[in-house]
Chain A
Amino acid sequence: MDRREFIKKSLQAGAASLAMMTMKVPLINSAERTSTVAVARNGSPDDMVEKAVEMLGGIARFVGKGDTVVIKPNIGWARRPEQAANTNPEVVAAIVRLCKSAGAGKIKVFDNTCNEAKRCYVMSGIQKAAESAGADVSYMFPQKFKKTDIPNGKILKSWHFYKDALDADAFINVPIVKHHSLSRMTMGMKNIMGILGENRGKIHNQFDQKLADINTVVKPTLTILDAVNVLMRNGPVGGNVNDVQSFNTIVAGVDPVAVDSYGASFFDLKGMDLGFLRKAHAMGLGEIDLSHVKVKEFNLSG
């Protein structure tokens, strides 16, 4: 490559990326797509969940009377709540109660676990908490996975998704913020993997794009990010309570990319630092730049 060619190619590349950026600007700036992220801090899980959802316009905006609601926490691991490998059971229970108060019909809670399902459901405390709050907690049925096309997928063209999650009137994604070596962090977008079947390990190769592909199919009604206790190291399984840091925060929003992008701040990162968010943003799944996001914060102890 000589100098002339280099300059030519560089200019071409620059022009191309500039064109792409200008194309996306109107999308982001359109009033309709302005994302809101609600952040509630320093309260009980119940109060924080309620406050965060209230800041988004209240649960009635998302859950109607008689709706079938799927609440999808992270129940992936045979770990106890204080080890912060699974979503905080009190957060899950609070959301179940909130949905009940909005008149939801059936409320289903499930996850495709990594460790043995019974152990995960029991040890995480989620089965007990969610059931006593009135949810239907079940182990996932292989019969309910169905092969679903991913028309906008760049690498993945289809995958097995859980029918109940796709068919729900409202799908509330309730991830916990955790360290993850491959993707640096796991939050809402990664939590969607819990409704996938097949050999999910295969997603981990060219992970960022594949995860974004998956997320083009499932768009949560609401993402409620559990940052009550955050696993800072040795994720996503953890185990050592010394790796857990308490942030006592709940982040909620409709835009899954914006919520995860806010979540990155718990690790002193920006959304742009996370490859899967960059890919998701590039596919138009949501806003990655928090300066374009309306962040509403509320401190419950203040």
Chain B
Amino acid sequence: MRFARRVSQIFFLSLFVFLFIKTTFPFNASIPHDIFLRSDPLVALVTMLTTRQFIFRIFAAGFLLVILSLILGRFFCGWVCPMGTIIDAGDRLFSRERAETRPSYRKHRLWKYSLLVIVLIAALFSVQLIWFLDPLSLLTRSFTISLYPLLAIFAEAIFNLLLKLGAFEDALFSLYGAMRGTILPLAPLLFSRSILILIVFAGILLLGRVTRRYWCRYLCPLGALYGVFSAFRFVRRRTTDDCIDCGRCYKECKMDAIASDFRSYSHHECIECMTCVHICPTNALKYTTGIKPRGDGIDFSRRRFVFSGATALLAVGATKTALVDKSSSGAVIRPPGSVSEDEFLDRCIRCHQCIKVCSTMGRYLQPAWLESGWEGIWTPLGNARHGYCEYDCNLCGMVCPTDAIHELTVSEKQATPMGTAYFDKSRCIPWYKNEDCLVCEEHCPISDKAIKFEVRRVTKPDGREHDVKYPYVDEDLCIGCGICVTKCPLEAKAGIFVNSTGQKRWADEDAVDALDFYR
């Protein structure tokens, strides 16, 4: 059974990686790219609380998993969760000699339930906190922003090194060429503050030095949710009279789920990894079915609940009462099809699937910092200086698991402005030094062009007259895709910029944006 569990873990991790790599152009819509995120009941629960809407797209699979965990317990954590599998692998790498977990750590298990309560109470006040903690969102984000870019950089470095050796040049180029654009990105992927996302991910792995599965035992709110539903599990461990009290299972348990009598164990913590069954020298452990609720329950005190609630309210206060300066929110260029800003922040779980699928070109969608306030950290923002929104692309809306970005058809998307371009006449080449350039107009994908120009005759300092083409924006046509900004040949700041003016959000006509009322 332990072997079966390992096969299952490897299968689901491979599936996760496969779907991740497939989240790109050319896009096969029949592959469920976001299935891991969509079958996450915590994401579903929180998003439905923050938005007060029933969202079938994310509800169905998660609901099924919850029903399954009523029967099987936290099998998801042990058999399916790709984060769990990576932590298992990390534990083998990082963990010290398998020391007995200190008994004092046991009470830390409650941390994850506290985090769950904080997240749920905050969700009641329409504050989305799950983005930071949900393991599947966290993992997808870490892959997109840190691990995959690292892989690309390493691959390129190795390629360059081999190239330096001078031999087999053609073969090297064919090999690397076959990998580029298929399993590797075409160009290096660069993201703002990518290190922060890597630090969180690496930190979780390094916690394996404290105890194995540290994250799963003490912190993971999804694990906590499954733990709550596992109280009634019908499939359960039974210790027969063959037990010789050797205590190996107690020592080896990844989750520290087995009690010191070596017989009872916590229904909420066991992840069915089958290690105990496998290592028991007398085969005294069986997995059987039973109906009567058993186990230790979750010792979640009222005091702990009040404290968690207060923490949640602090988070609500910190996010909802902070002023978001309009001059910085002008940079809030959301992917086309995004819902209104308030609802976007309710829905976006920062899984960064949109960033992954967009990064075919790379760099346009970037994780935000404080442009849209504390509530908007790591939400996707368009940064046109380094990349732009491909005119013919609608993929971000097709991979968003929570519909923060509505799925648009290509023609709908082309008619959905993300903002408007403005010339900075103190920098733009024709405007500041009376010479032709027009690179922005060349690249403008709208026909008729949203960047037009006017020819004026100017006299140069040497007395010669010549015609110069001066570009300007037709704001009725501009959709703010930003290619003009990306391609502007100036060093540093471009001679043109896009801000959120005229940005059209996908809207449910009946929805009222509370903040809009005051703006």
Interface of A with B (CB < 8 Å)? 78-79, 114-119, 122-123, 138-139, 141, 143-144, 180-182, 199-202, 204-207, 233-234, 236-240, 243
Contacts and interface: CB of A to CB of B under 8 A. Distances in A.
Contacts of A237: 442-445, 447
Given A204-B436, A204-B438, A123 B392 contact: yes
Given A201-B439, A239-B446, A117 B390 contact: no
Contacts of B173: 138, 141, 144
B467 to A, nearest CB: 11
Given A114-B443, A118-B360, A202 B489 contact: yes
Q: Which residue among B443, B445, B469 has the maximum number of chain A CB atoms within 10 Å of its CB?
A: B445
Given A117-B181, A119-B25, A182 B438 contact: yes
A78 B392 contact: yes
B254 to A, nearest CB: 42
A119 B159 CA distance: 24
A141 B437 CA distance: 27
Nearest to A77: B445
A78 B395 CA distance: 15
Given A182-B436, A182-B438, A205 B447 contact: no
A107 B222 CA distance: 54
B469 to A, nearest CB: 7
Interface string B82-111: 000000000000000000000000000000
B160 interface: yes
Interface of B: 25-26, 159-160, 163, 173, 176-177, 180-181, 186, 360-361, 390-393, 429, 435-439, 441-449, 453, 469, 487-489
A178 to B, nearest CB: 11
Nearest to B440: A201
Contacts of B360: 116, 118-119
Nearest to B448: A234
A239 B448 CA distance: 9
A238 B333 CA distance: 25
A202 B361 CA distance: 21
Given A118-B25, A182-B442, A237-B447, 4 more contacts: A182-B469, A205-B436, A233-B447, A234-B449
Nearest to B471: A181
B489 A205 contact: yes
29 contacts: A114-B487, A119-B25, A119-B360, A119-B390, A122-B26, A138-B173, A138-B177, A139-B180, A141-B173, A143-B159, A143-B160, A143-B163, A181-B449, A181-B469, A182-B437, A182-B442, A201-B439, A201-B487, A204-B438, A204-B489, A205-B429, A206-B435, A207-B436, A234-B447, A234-B449, A236-B442, A237-B443, A237-B444, A239-B446
Contact of B447 (A78, A122, A240): A240
Interface of A is mostly: loop
B441 A181 contact: yes
A180 B453 CA distance: 13
Nearest to B364: A116
A117 B180 CA distance: 11
B190 to A, nearest CB: 14
Nearest to B453: A181
B176 to A, nearest CB: 8
A79 B446 CA distance: 12
A63 B473 CA distance: 47
A204 B437 contact: yes
A114 B445 CA distance: 11
Contact of A199 (B180, B393, B435, B489): B489
Contacts of A78: 390-393
The 4 A-B pairs at the shortest CB distance, nearest first, are namely A201-B489, A234-B447, A116-B361, A240-B447
A141 B177 contact: yes
Nearest to A200: B489
A181 B181 contact: no
Contacts of B444: 237
A200 B159 CA distance: 26
Nearest to A242: B447
Nearest to A137: B177
A233 B361 CA distance: 27
Contact of B390 (A115, A205, A206, A233): A115
A131 to B, nearest CB: 13
Nearest to B173: A141
A115 to B, nearest CB: 6
A115 B176 CA distance: 22
A114 B486 CA distance: 11
B447 A204 contact: no
A237 B447 CA distance: 8
A115 B186 CA distance: 13
B189 to A, nearest CB: 13
B517 to A, nearest CB: 39
A117 B442 contact: no
Nearest to A186: B442
Given A117-B181, A182-B436, A206-B435, A239 B160 contact: no
A27 B136 CA distance: 71
Nearest to B176: A141
A233 B26 CA distance: 29
A79 B489 CA distance: 23
Contacts of B453: 181
A205 B435 CA distance: 7
A86 B180 CA distance: 23
A181 B448 contact: no
Nearest to A235: B442
Q: Which of B26, B176, B447, B489 has the largest number of chain A CB atoms within 10 A?
A: B447
A144 B159 CA distance: 13
B218 to A, nearest CB: 43
A275 B36 CA distance: 57
Nearest to A239: B447
Given A122-B26, A204-B436, A139 B447 contact: no
A119 B429 contact: no
A201 B496 CA distance: 14
Contacts of A119: 25, 360, 390, 392-393
A119 B362 CA distance: 13
B167 to A, nearest CB: 15
Q: Which of A114, A118, A200 lies at the interface centre, i.e. has the most chain B CB atoms within 10 A of its CB?
A: A118
A79 B438 CA distance: 21
Contacts of B361: 115-116
Contact of A238 (B25, B177, B390, B447): B447
Contacts of A202: 489
